[in-house]
Amino acid sequence: MESSHDFSEEDWLVHTHYGIGQIKGIEVKMISGAKASYFRIQTSDSTFWIPVDQIDSEILRPLSTLEEIQLAIAILQRPPKKMSSDHNARKTRIRRVQLQNTPEDTARLIRDLRARQRDKGELNMEESSAIRALKQRLIEEWSLVMDKKSEKVSSRLDDLLDHHQLAAE
């Protein structure tokens, strides 16, 4: 991400932990006796603050481009890859994807987790939580970038994931 001066009120950002948020303003806060400027970022269900001088950190990125979302959709259309049978390897992959925070990696992991769920009957708690959160983030970002209702995007995502189930039968 480029320097913080490239971002302003109403810009959309993606945080690795909080998800999609929109900058709603800059606020000066007194922390440990020192004044600092913070971007106030509103998500669908919370508000968080990021110091203006740290906005270019690795945990934030700008909203994806149309091309990046189209690539994620293309990835969802490809056959899933078999996930490792090793729990720790799957856990490491989930954490890596969450930190990399790209729609392409997110789409691959969602697709592969959904196939694992179909094959094994269920996912463990960490995998279930990850697929739910990653799907929500991808749906929100896809909706914003392509200016579509989230319900339509969610339905399209499920159709793409279900297509692999039909092809496997």
Secondary structure of residue 31 in the 3-state scheme:
strand
Q: Which domains does the chain have, with CATH numbers?
A: 4-62 (2.40.10.170), 66-168 (1.20.58.1290)
The share of the chain scoring above pLDDT 90, in percent, equals 68
pLDDT value of residue 123: 95
pLDDT value of residue 4: 41
Which of 35-62 are b and which e, b meaning 16 or more Cβ less than 10 Å from the residue's Cβ? eeebbbbeeeeeeeebebeebbeeebbe
d(CA 12, CA 7): 9
Secondary structure of residue 104 in the 3-state scheme:
helix
On the question of pLDDT at 167 being above 60, the answer is no
Q: Within 13 Å of residue 166, how many CA atoms lie on the same side as its CB?
A: 7
The 10s digit of each residue's pLDDT in 42-72 is: 998 899 998 888 776 778 889 999 999 999 9
d(CA 133, CA 125): 12
